[in-house]
Amino acid sequence: MLILQFGTGPAAADRIVETLIGAAVGLVTVFVATPARLRPAEQAIAAFGGRVAALLDDMAAGLAAEPAPEAVARWTDRARRLTAEILRVEAEVDTADETARLRGRTGTGHSRALREALDTLERAIPTVRGLARCISDRTGLRMWEPEVRERLAGVLHDLAQTTRNYAEAATTCCPEEAERLTGELDRSLAEGRRLRDELGAVLRNDPGHWPLHGELLVHLDRLLDGLRDGPVVSRAAGRADRVRARATLRV
């Protein structure tokens, strides 16, 4: 405004051109460059879900035979490290939130879906850590019966796949893929609940260790319930809109 009011001649014209170029660059940064920073948040959440699933798969594989104390200790340590890793993922989601704010989309669509997915996975970490500790305590008391090991491994394998499906469904940019993954998530949750109930029936035959077995089943219930009640499942009606909002932010 000062240039327009007081400036004259070629110098003033040059200043006006420079000002317009600067404003254009700012707009491009907000509406073109900034959305490119959303993808790292999606990748971080999907990768973190994969690491949680990998730990559950390793625990299941380790139950093929009587787990060694060293293996159980490694599971506990990996579960503990997940707590620190979640901070890095949260930083990526904070960046996505800031991107949404710059786009004038605070609290809607993409950023809210990512934040809710992160919260769901973050709540699962103490439960996975407690599950590893419970298996450690049970290993220290006595040998596992083969049937118990087999059934517990089945539940853990199912939980691993359910966690992958959840993380991928929460971060995909394709509405059709989100619907497909959600269908798989529903099926794996139902299968996980069936396997958990079968495990509970077997554990009831060993009443001498019921307190520890009860703790084990509670941890499994929390993982299943947390994934079932996450936004990918409980807000299915709005899932396609959230995914389309993510795609819109990229273009």
Ranges of each domain in the chain: 38-250
Phi-psi region of 172 (alpha: psi -120 to 50; beta: other; left: phi over 0): beta
Category of 41 on φ-ψ map: left (φ > 0), alpha (ψ -120 to 50) or beta: alpha
The per-residue pLDDT for 123 is 92
The mean of the pLDDT values for the chain is: 78
Q: What is the pLDDT of residues 31-76, one digit of tens each?
A: 444 454 678 888 899 999 999 999 999 999 998 888 888 888 899 8
Q: What is the pLDDT of residue 92?
A: 87
**Mean pLDDT, residues 149-173 taken together:** 91
| The predicted structure's pLDDT at residue 139 | 75
- pTM recorded for the entire structure: 0.75
The mean per-residue pLDDT over the stretch 71-82 comes to 90
Torsion of CA 48, 50, 53, 59, to 10 degrees: -90
For residue 70, CA distances in Å to 75, 77, 100 come to 9, 11, 45
Q: What is the pLDDT of residue 111?
A: 67
Percent above pLDDT 90 for the chain = 35
In this prediction, what percent of the chain has a pLDDT beyond 70? 69
Domain 38-250 belongs in CATH node 3.90.1150.150: no
Distance CA(226)–CA(222), nearest Å, equals 6
| Distance of alpha carbon 201 from alpha carbon 179, whole angstroms | 34
Dihedral (C-alpha) 186, 190, 191, 195: value to the nearest 10 degrees? 150
DSSP tag of 63: T
- Measured distance CA(189)–CA(35) in Å, rounded: 33
CA 58 to chain centre: 18
- Closest among 164, 175, 168 to 247, alpha carbons compared: 175
Of 95-99, 115-119, 198-202, which range is least confident? 95-99
In the predicted model, is pLDDT for residue 152 greater than 90? yes
Residue 12: pLDDT band with limits 50, 70, 90: low
- DSSP 8-state symbol, 68: P
Q: How big is the CA angle at 39 (ends 49 and 116), to the nearest 5 degrees?
A: 50
Integer Cα distance of 210 and 216 in angstroms? 10
Q: How large is the greatest C-alpha to C-alpha distance in the chain, in angstroms?
A: 95
